[in-house]
Amino acid sequence: MFGKRKLDDLSVEELEKALLIKRRQSRLERFQRLSGEGRSTNEALLNQDEPVVRPQAPAPWPRSTPIAAPGFQTASVQPMRGIFGRRKATPIPPQERTRSKKVRDALLLGLEVVALVGLVAVLVASYFNLKELNAEVSLAQQSALKQELPTPTVAPPPITLNRLPGGHTPPTSPGGAAPDVPLHLQQWVQTSASGGSAVPIEIKPATNSPTRIVIPKIQVDAPIINGVSWEDLKKGVGHLPGSANPGERGNLYLAAHNDIFGEIFRYLEKLEVGDEYFIHAGEQKFRYVVKEKRIINPTDVEVMLPTTEPVATLQTCYPYLVDTHRLVVIGELAE
């Protein structure tokens, strides 16, 4: 094809064509040899057992050495490796690849196991720390309660009567009017509900104590006595010891009879919501306005309990000459 031309006279394109012809001849010879050994066509074409000739950088060609093209008798062409050849990556054997993968998987599994064990250890430690902290808080709270709460002192309970003061039998009954609470127990009338615990009466100083009550609508102008016993109510309107004084915040509780001992509260039932009455404390006068009127049982002693607002409660027996219930009129402080 190229005749007996020298290698130096060939162009680059001609050299590439000559190398390609040489490589084809080499592949054909390998295919014929492998086919002669009984291998299949695919194995003969794709066999990698044969060492691949890799191009290497050739030594400088002496210009005096004549080289002819392949197929000519003048010279044999040396393969120009390293210039036109393509280097293939050396394949990794399957066994080594499998072994490295197993090692990597084992390392990853080990890391996962270590991480899981660490997480479980942290959770367990947190649980026990929280449990210990809760126990310490509980002990601290119990200790604080023991320090804050004083030891209660047991006092002898006072005598308690679960009836409102001023009760008596009707004057028309055989033997006349008589107190429904024995005289020696009158002083123990308490402001406790039925079945409840007794509340001791706290006797307040006489300063600002009520001295007089005026109810214009029913023409009442009577003195107020400190106490609600049988003997006290003979003298006038009784002021429950321990209840509020006029003008004070709390329940100012007054009681009087309606059919005996002057019948002071004989017409108390005529008072209606909005009516007014006056309670004096010495030279001072306090005005109260009726806000509520009720008929209750003698055992409804909760009407004597203290209140948060300044009120004055008026109580008497009811009905007239029967005295089975109690009439209660409650007024608010107006000025």
Question: What is the pLDDT, as a whole number, of residue 186?
Answer: 66
How far lies 249's CA from each of 144, 238, 245, 246, 329, in Å? 35, 19, 8, 9, 18
DSSP state of 186: G
Mean pLDDT of all residues belonging to the chain: 78
The pLDDT confidence band at residue 159, using thresholds 50, 70 and 90, is: very low
Distance CA 291, CA 274 (A): 6
* Residues 79 and 55: beta-carbon distance below 8 Å: yes
Please give the structure tokens belonging to residue 217: 């609508």
The pLDDT confidence band at residue 238, using thresholds 50, 70 and 90, is: very high
Assigned CATH topology for domain 183-333: Sortase; Chain: A; (2.40.260)
Peptide linkage before 319 cis (omega within 30 of 0): yes
Please give the structure tokens belonging to residue 123: 């959770």
27, pLDDT greater than 60: yes
The dihedral of CA 44, 49, 54, 59: what is its sign? negative
196, pLDDT greater than 50: no
User: Would you mind telling me the total number of residues written for the chain in this entry?
Assistant: 335
Task: Express each pLDDT in 165-189 by its tens digit.
Answer: 888 888 888 878 888 877 777 666 6
The residue ranges of every structural domain in the chain are: 1-88, 183-333
318, pLDDT greater than 80: yes
In the structure, how many helices (H) and strands (E) does the chain have? Answer: 3, 8
Query: Between these two residues, 174 and 201, which has the higher pLDDT value?
Result: 174
Residues near 1 by beta carbon (within 8 Å), at least 6 away in sequence: 21, 69, 71
How far lies 308's CA from each of 29, 255, 304, in Å? 122, 21, 13
315, pLDDT greater than 80: yes
Task: Express each pLDDT in 274-293 by its tens digit.
Answer: 999 999 999 999 999 999 99
Task: Express each pLDDT in 50-63 by its tens digit.
Answer: 554 455 555 555 55
Question: What is the pLDDT, as a whole number, of residue 110?
Answer: 92
**Range name among 16-20, 83-87, 88-92 with the lowest pLDDT average:** 83-87
Query: How many angstroms from the chain centroid is the CA of residue 271?
Result: 53
Model confidence pTM above 0.75? no
Please give the structure tokens belonging to residue 109: 């599994």
**Residue 175, amino acid:** G
Distance CA 293, CA 171 (A): 25
72, pLDDT greater than 50: no
The pLDDT confidence band at residue 150, using thresholds 50, 70 and 90, is: low
